[in-house]
């Protein structure tokens, strides 16, 4: 893995107009991804994780729009590309595995044909049906779909949830993208299949050098799989660092809260401490720290000032006044 950014997001803001006002789903977010890196983006539902991934691929549906920022892929700003140029990037250079495979797969086409479609669109395998089908069978084998020749003509409803997710991963890998965006790829799967899918993604990363952004609400899963973790809350990054920094030395109260919510198997019974309250309405985020109303360590100043990201250690940044220079920890 190199430290040269393959993908660099700078001050990205994505909004959705509603009757209540503008919803700032992604608010001034900056992230980077190195070649071959595994980055986790974690947080509760409604914090902006999925919208960030959709923004990278410019898949925000109207009337939602990206209003500011840069998305640099190999130094090229994706926000400045034409629609036609962007279609060449999707699937070929940056691919996405969506959260619900059953709604992502087309129910009226065989799974094998849906995998083949990506090859056809990007003219992989010289657009020759025989070679395309051979490549599809290779992909199905690689992602662990047994008897690929027999399953090629099966429809999505004939696949189990785990097999549907493998098919989505095969579609995403068809053109050997440099980046794979995985949006909650194991949410609807049991723990055994979840482990198999994560092992598959780890193998893809190691054997192909594919950089992966894993979106998840499961901090334990991110800790096991990712090399760096970004914690999102109310559309903003509140903590980012290496996995060891974020897990072993969490600095933001929200990160600590997420860690205390994880059930542990220990000799003595321990109490799971839920985070009180809910993610604020993104159309009316309170001034100051968005987490202040749920934070047990809140101070009056927290509700008055918009908090920047402070560097607390090399590569470890936190959006909290308690860790700011001169702040009270």
How do residues 122-140 score in pLDDT, each as one tens digit? 766 555 556 888 889 999 9
Residue 23 host element (H or E): strand 21-34
In the chain, what is the straight-line distance between the N-terminal and C-terminal CA atoms, in Å? 35
Tokens 């989505």 -> residue: 168
Summarize the confidence of residues 158-178 as an average pLDDT.
92
- Whether 149 shows a pLDDT value over 90: the answer reads yes
Same fold: 5-88+180-198+207-323 with 94-176: yes
- Nearby residues of 231 by Cβ (< 8 Å), 6 or more positions away: 42, 43, 237, 238, 239, 240, 246, 252, 254, 255, 258
Determine contact, residues 105/156, Cβ cutoff 8 Å: yes
User: For domain 5-88+180-198+207-323, which CATH number applies: 3.30.70.1140, 3.20.20.100, 3.40.50.300, 3.40.50.970?
Assistant: 3.40.50.300
Determine contact, residues 38/225, Cβ cutoff 8 Å: yes
User: For domain 94-176, which CATH number applies: 3.30.70.20, 3.40.50.80, 3.40.50.150, 3.40.50.300?
Assistant: 3.40.50.300
**Any idea where the domains of the chain sit in the sequence?**
5-88+180-198+207-323, 94-176
- Whether 1 shows a pLDDT value over 50: the answer reads no
Summarize the confidence of residues 181-187 as an average pLDDT.
90
Please give the Cα distance from 270 to 109 (Å, whole number). 49
Summary mean pLDDT of the chain: 90
Q: pTM of the prediction?
A: 0.91
Residue 101 host element (H or E): helix 101-104
How confident is the model over 43-66, as pLDDT tens digits? 999 999 999 999 999 999 999 999
Strand locations in 84-130 (E): 94-97
The pLDDT score that the predictor gives to residue 124 is 65
Summarize the confidence of residues 28-36 as an average pLDDT.
97
Which span out of 31-45, 108-122, 132-146, 293-307 was modeled with the highest average pLDDT? 31-45
């Amino acid at each position: 893995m190199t430290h040269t950014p393959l993908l660099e997001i700078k001050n990205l803001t994505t909004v959705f107009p509603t009757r209540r006002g503008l919803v700032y789903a992604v608010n001034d977010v900056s992230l980077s991804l190195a070649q071959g890196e595994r980055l986790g983006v974690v947080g509760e539902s409604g914090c902006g994780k999925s919208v960030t991934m959709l923004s990278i691929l410019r898949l925000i549906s109207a009337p939602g729009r990206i209003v500011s920022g840069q998305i640099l892929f190999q130094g090229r700003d994706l926000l400045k590309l034409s629609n036609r140029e962007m279609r060449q990037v999707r699937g070929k250079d940056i691919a996405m595995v969506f959260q619900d495979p059953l709604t992502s797969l087309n129910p009226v086409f065989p799974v094998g044909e849906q995998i083949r479609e990506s090859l056809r669109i990007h003219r992989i395998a010289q657009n020759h049906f025989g070679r395309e089908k051979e490549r599809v069978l290779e992909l199905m084998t690689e992602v662990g779909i047994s008897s690929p020749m027999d399953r090629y003509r099966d429809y999505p409803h004939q696949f189990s949830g785990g097999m549907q997710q493998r098919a989505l991963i095969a579609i995403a890998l068809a053109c050997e993208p440099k980046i794979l965006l995985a949006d909650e790829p194991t949410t609807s799967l049991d723990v055994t299949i979840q482990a198999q899918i994560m092992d598959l993604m780890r193998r893809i990363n190691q054997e192909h050098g594919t950089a992966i952004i894993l979106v998840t609400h499961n901090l334990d899963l991110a800790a096991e799989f990712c090399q760096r973790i970004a914690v999102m809350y109310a559309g903003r990054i509140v903590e980012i660092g290496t996995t060891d920094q974020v897990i072993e030395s969490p600095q933001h109260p929200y990160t600590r809260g997420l860690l205390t919510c994880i059930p542990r198997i220990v000799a003595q019974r321990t109490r799971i401490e839920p985070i009180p309250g809910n993610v604020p309405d993104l159309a009316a985020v309170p001034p100051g720290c968005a987490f202040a109303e749920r934070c047990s360590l809140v101070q009056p100043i927290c509700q008055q000032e918009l908090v920047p990201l402070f560097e607390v250690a090399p590569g470890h940044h936190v959006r909290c006044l308690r860790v700011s220079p001169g702040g009270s920890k």
